Amino acid sequence: MIIAVDGPAASGKGTIARALAGHYGLPHLDTGLLYRAVAFTVRRLELDPTREADAVAACDFDDLTLADPALRDDDVGQLASIVSAHPLVRASLLQRQRRFANQQGGAVLDGRDIGTVIAPDADAKLFVKATPQIRARRRHTELQSRGDTTSFDRVLADIRVRDARDSGRDAAPLIMASDAALLDTTFLSIEESIRRATVLVDAALAAKAKTAE
Ligand SMILES: Nc1ncnc2c1ncn2[C@@H]1O[C@H](COP(=O)(O)OP(=O)(O)OP(=O)(O)O)[C@@H](O)[C@H]1O
Ligand SMILES: Nc1ccn([C@@H]2O[C@H](COP(=O)(O)O)[C@@H](O)[C@H]2O)c(=O)n1
């Protein structure tokens, strides 16, 4: 069983995807981390993130990089949205994500293009959204708890820039798959978001089982 969870930055898709993975006993992949690792490597090697060849060279990152907490920094997210717009970077990370999705028993993946590109035949697809203001507030709180002093206005501005870049690029833009269920978490607690996500996934699985009869 493959569950695809997509949505914009700080919409809560990772929180929901992790909870779904626990609920259904499936492994989880946060695909944003892969793009963050490329961005982090570009920066470490002092490469140019706007040059596709430089960004592709950074796709060969060491897997230990994925465990570095600095990957979660706001500026790495910004850089990730620059490198992720290059088609050859996306192509370079595609098979790794597909292999994870198609492993025996299934998986939960969250990102921007899981339901549209990585796993278009996923058994259940969610598109998680929330207003930019509420996403910025959540991300700001999270950054503060890690000792990051980035201002709320800066976090909100970064989220708007990242939304525009991720939705406006030609290669695998952030869009809701036509067969995804929409979950707006703007006014929902984490617990309620997870509860509703589980109901939506159960409904998608039941509908799929019925058409297979
Ligand atoms: N419904 C909610 N209510 C309040 N806070 C939430 C809610 N959902 C998630 N959060 C918090 O908001 C922050 C962002 O959530 P999360 O990391 O799940 O988002 P994301 O969409 O995966 O972000 P990114 O795209 O940057 O990976 C986290 O600190 C999380 O605990
Ligand atoms: N499937 C994906 C996942 C992520 N990206 C890009 O990476 C950036 C960081 O992702 P987070 O989920 O950690 O915020 C994001 O802004 C996207 O540009 C992607 O393109 N496809």
Q: Where residue 212 falls among pLDDT bands split at 50, 70, 90?
A: confident
What are the tens digits of pLDDT across the range 9-66?
A: 999 999 999 999 999 999 999 999 999 999 999 999 999 999 999 999 999 999 999 9
Q: Tens digits of per-residue pLDDT, 154-207?
A: 999 999 999 999 999 999 999 999 999 999 999 999 999 999 999 999 999 999
Ligand at minimal distance from the CA of 126 is: 1
- Which atom of ligand 1 is nearest to 18's Cα? 18
CA distance 200 to 14: 16
Tell me how far the alpha carbon of residue 42 lies from the centroid of ligand 1, in angstroms.
Answer: 26
Nearest residue (by CA) to ligand 1, atom 25, is 9
Domain regions of the chain by residue span = 2-195
pLDDT tens, position by position, 106-149? 999 999 999 999 999 999 999 999 999 999 999 999 999 989 89
Give ipTM to 2 decimals.
Answer: 0.98
Is ligand 1 within 6 A of the CB of residue 10?
A: yes
Is ligand 1 within 6 A of the CB of residue 188? yes
Q: Which residues contact 23 (CB under 8 A, 6 or more apart)?
A: 198
Residue 107: predicted pLDDT:
98
Alpha carbon of 34 to those of 71, 72, 82, 196: distances in Å?
A: 10, 11, 13, 28
Q: Which ligand 2 atom is at minimum distance from the Cα of 84?
A: 20
Looking at residue 131, what is its pLDDT? 98
Ligand 2: residues within 6 Å at CB? 9, 31-32, 35-36, 77, 80-81, 84, 111-113, 162, 166
End-to-end Cα separation, the chain, in angstroms: 17
CATH architecture assignment, domain 2-195: 3-Layer(aba) Sandwich (3.40)
**Tokens for 63?**
């897997």
**Quick check: CB of 106 below 6 Å from ligand 1?**
no
pLDDT for the residue 88: 98
Q: What is the pTM of this model?
A: 0.97
Predicted pLDDT at 213? 84
